[in-house]
Chain A
Amino acid sequence: DTEVTQTPKHLVMGMTNKKSLKCEQHMGHRAMYWYKQKAKKPPELMFVYSYEKLSINESVPSRFSPECPNSSLLNLHLHALQPEDSALYLCASSQDQGGYYGYTFGSGTRLTVV
């Protein structure tokens, strides 16, 4: 299995809603990532988990809350988002946090905040 699976593929939520994005990989990778990507921009790093511990938080607002229940799963909990948070949210994984062998990306969740 060489895939990173993300659900849901599309999500529309109101500013008062609470929702979660899910990511799963079964490649035995020890590092997992959340990226946010706006149109015509490169992916922007949000969080990094290495060996199930949060190792990087790129000063992301607290309305985004990551969780790593085990080495295969990564969640991103969303609460009280703003319309400007609408974007493609990408999960990625790699053998090691440094990314020496590159990252494998999931197909993303396209989030719209209304």
Chain B
Amino acid sequence: RKEVEQDPGPFNVPEGATVAFNCTYSNSASQSFFWYRQDCRKEPKLLMSVYSSGNEDGRFTAQLNRASQYISLLIRDSKLSDSATYLCVVNRNQAGTALIFGKGTTLSVSS
């Protein structure tokens, strides 16, 4: 099983739609979880951090289910500008390690 797995998509949705991405992780000791957004040919930018059960920021909601070891990202009222790749990132909570990146989920919002 890969350490972090995401559905690569692409997800093609119309403006105004609600879309959800899921991500599973294998290390039960992981303590912090992130969704990064990456636009084409740009750097990843932190969208949301999740340390407990969830986090909400405007149209974006991240949920964490530790028992099932998955994290989700919900985007409500999708905008054209939400079109990007969304990376699920997890820490290993081990000394001497780095964050683990999922392969990313591509979202395309159309008018």
Interface string of A69-104 (1 = CB under 8 A from B): 000000000000000000010100000011111111
Judge whether B21 is part of the interface by a CB distance below 8 angstroms.
no
A45 pairs with B98, CB closer than 8 A: yes
Q: List chain B positions with a Cβ less than 8 A from chain A.
A: 31-32, 34, 41-46, 49, 87, 89, 91-99, 101-104
A-B contact pairs, 7 of them (CB 8 A): A97-B98, A101-B49, A102-B49, A103-B99, A105-B44, A105-B45, A107-B43
Interface residues on A, range: 20 to 34
- CB < 8 Å neighbour of B98 from A41, A99, A104, A106: A99
- CB < 8 Å neighbour of A106 from B43, B95, B101: B43
CB-defined contacts of A105 to chain B, threshold 8 Å: 43-45
How far, in Å, is A19 (CB) from chain B's closest CB? 20
A41–B103 alpha-carbon span in the complex (Å): 6
Judge whether A43 is part of the interface by a CB distance below 8 angstroms.
yes
A56 pairs with B49, CB closer than 8 A: no
Q: List chain A positions with a Cβ less than 8 A from chain B.
A: 33, 41-43, 45, 48, 50, 55-56, 88, 90, 97-108, 110
How far, in Å, is A3 (CB) from chain B's closest CB? 11
